[in-house]
Amino acid sequence: MKEKYITGSLANARSPVRTHAERRVRLSDTFVKRLKPKSKPYSIGDSEMVGLRIYILPSGTRKGYYAYCPKNQKNWIREPLGNFNVMNIEQMRNKARKFAVAILEGRDPAEIKRELKKEPTLIEFIEEDFYVKRLLRSFGYKSSTIKTIKVFFKCWIKQKTTDQKIRQIQQDNPFNLQHKKLSSVTPEDVRKLHNIIGIKSPAVADKITDYLKVLFNYAIELKILNKNPVVIKNKERFGDKEDNRILTKYQKEIVLKLAWKLDKRTGKLNYNYYANNGLSLVACCEISYWLTAPRRNVSEGNSIRWKQISFPTKKIAFGDSKVGQMTYDLGPRVLGILKVIYGERLTEGPLKWRPVTQEYVFPSSRYGKKNSLGKINKTPFLKDSRKTWKRILKMANIEYMPPKQTRHTVLTHLLSSSKNIMVVKDAAGHKNIKTTMRYAKILNEDVVSELEKMDRVQEKEEKILEFKKT
């Protein structure tokens, strides 16, 4: 077979290799991963982007090159595109196209190299620009939002996570955007990432897409980009599927009876009851709070501190809730629950005041201890009560529903008794009345029931009139 010399960084010496027309297939990430190393380096070309070749070295390393023969020259030149373990095939195709366009226009490929080197990759832009210069409280971002965005990007863009389910999804769907240049990120890339994240959590997939849109808009503002690649339509989004399940008033009382157990003689918590039933006392206290206060489970529930509560004024204050600084009234029932918990601070047990955890209403007994992974628990409050919540629902013979439905339960019952949507809006802390209207929708069954009654009465009256007329 005909041989030609190739210059480039793959080999120090000028060695004969086979012509690039030797073999071309439509390369894919899966195909390249399955290629086995041999005793000598070999390459396979891409049929979609002519000139793109993947070299498989004896060590197993896979590298991408754009190979071309300059006009009026005999020797081929290879431009390195990157290592396959940090770039996928589509990213290499995009990079190869830039070289191809430059050569066609008669530009110096070295110029393209400098441009590509100068432009940041997605992860570089995130960590060196977005985090440092834009994702700040001075630009209106709350601390909780900043933390959420960083956790999401670390998990799904940088692909660093300890969650085994997410790791498995990423392994089954190999796709990595982090090392891709900003200008080479396409709408198809964003859609693919959106769908992969959606396998684990549709809601998180939509949120990350929204955050990426903000990030790329910032890149446009800095004149790094001209267009935003995040162009996912509403019909392509997973959407925030509203879960309108709530506990009935009867079910709510059953759950409260199981979660909140006092000693009839002393009026204090019945420690023996919780121990005998294998229930976490602190988790049960937390669940009781959920079912008597229309607060959000996490941001306005698990992590609340005693300094936020004023027993004399019967109020609870939040310095940085989801809707900003807010103060809410405490009803007599939840106030009674909080007073009992406060009274247990000197009693030996999980609620006894200890350094650091004493400032929290729902302290973690695991704080400062090693978990199953050998790491020290640094969260001073009880972060997750789902196990106890699930157990209590099973004891009450109630079908499982997420803990967040407790807030919807309390607010729906409040609307049912008050018949005043504005009262519910204030109790919920909503800025927009449209958000509160969801509870009216939950009560829609009552409205339909009343309409059916009215229709039945009207039908009876029509029949009576019809009979008289005859």
Is residue 106 a part of any domain in this protein? no
Single out the residue in 42, 61, 86 at which a domain terminates: 86
Is residue 426 a part of any domain in this protein? no
- In the chain, DSSP finds a helix count (H) and a strand count (E) of 17, 10
Q: Tell me the C-alpha distance between 312 and 435, whole Å.
A: 31
pLDDT tens digit sequence for 366-388? 898 887 778 888 899 998 899 99
Single out the residue in 236, 270, 293 at which a domain terminates: 236
Same domain, 254 and 397: yes
Same domain, 129 and 209: yes
Radius of gyration of the chain (CA): 31
Is residue 467 a part of any domain in this protein? no
Classify residue 98 as left (phi > 0), alpha (psi -120 to 50) or beta.
alpha
pTM of the prediction? 0.58
Same domain, 287 and 229: no
**CA distances, 150 to each of 89, 135, 178 (Å):** 27, 9, 14
The tokens for 45 are: 């070309």
Q: Which domain holds residue 160?
A: 122-236
Same domain, 66 and 139: no
Same domain, 384 and 267: yes
pLDDT tens digit sequence for 86-121? 678 887 888 888 888 888 887 777 776 666 667 788
- What is the CATH classification number for the domain harbouring 136? 1.10.150
Same domain, 310 and 336: yes
Same domain, 376 and 268: yes
Single out the residue in 176, 202, 236 at which a domain terminates: 236
Q: Tell me the C-alpha distance between 407 and 398, whole Å.
A: 17
Q: Based on the structure, what is the number of domains in the chain? A: 3
Is residue 380 a part of any domain in this protein? yes
pLDDT tens digit sequence for 180-217? 888 889 999 999 999 999 999 988 999 999 999 999 99
Q: Tell me the C-alpha distance between 257 and 251, whole Å.
A: 10
Q: Among 71-85, 223-237, 352-366, name the most confident range.
A: 352-366
